[in-house]
Amino acid sequence: MPQAKILMTGFEPFGEVTINPSQQIVEHLAKQENPVKLVTAILPVDYKKAAHRIMDLIERHEPQAVLMLGVAQNRDAITLERIAVNINDASIPDNDGELIQGKPIVSDAPVGYWSTLPIEDMYTALKEQGIPVKFSNHAGAYLCNHVFYSIRHYFEDRHTTIPTGFIHVPGIGDESEEAPGMPLEKQIQAIQACIDVLAQHLKRTLLV
């Protein structure tokens, strides 16, 4: 049986985020041995380019799952996103200077899509390793939610069901500080654990 393939993406820095941990995590894990083949990419914080970059990679590599990462600076735990919402509504522009507020991502499309990642199993795995983890019902309304919704819509539009979803990581910081944050090493450990869970999920489903 061929090795399962997961497409994993992070984002470049933006706004006041001078170091994006999602980028650091993806670049680190791309160099590690894994139970699956990882196809990785760092996305531009750009409404016109980010989702299309993922779509191009999907069409080129035909992954069995898509795991998208981004940073939420004000959070203090790994957050497993449940729902992608059909709205762009940001307080800051993207890195190309475009500010979008109160506009649907896809016209005449559903208001939301559920994550199809095995997030309950991921939650359990992170809890067992003592890593702070929470579920989230809102991925924001900036580029993270934009790509989450766009890619879920891409698959729904093609009647394709593969595990697809989004995970937010905190900013990089010392857990003893007042501001939210998590050491990068622990974030890497967390996302590796999520990949391991996803690999086991794919092994079970692809054998059926």
Residues labelled as active-site residues: 81, 144, 168
Three-state secondary structure readout of 28-52: HHCCCCCCCEEEEEEECCCCCCHHH
Looking at the DSSP bridge assignments, the partners of residue 9 are 41, 68
- Provide the residue count of the chain: 208
β pairing state of 133-136 and 112-114: unpaired
From CA 178, how far away is CA 42, in angstroms rounded?
Answer: 29
Q: Residue for token digits 């509504």?
A: 89
Query: How far apart, in Å, are the Cα atoms of 86 and each of 10, 67, 143, 196?
Result: 20, 19, 12, 30
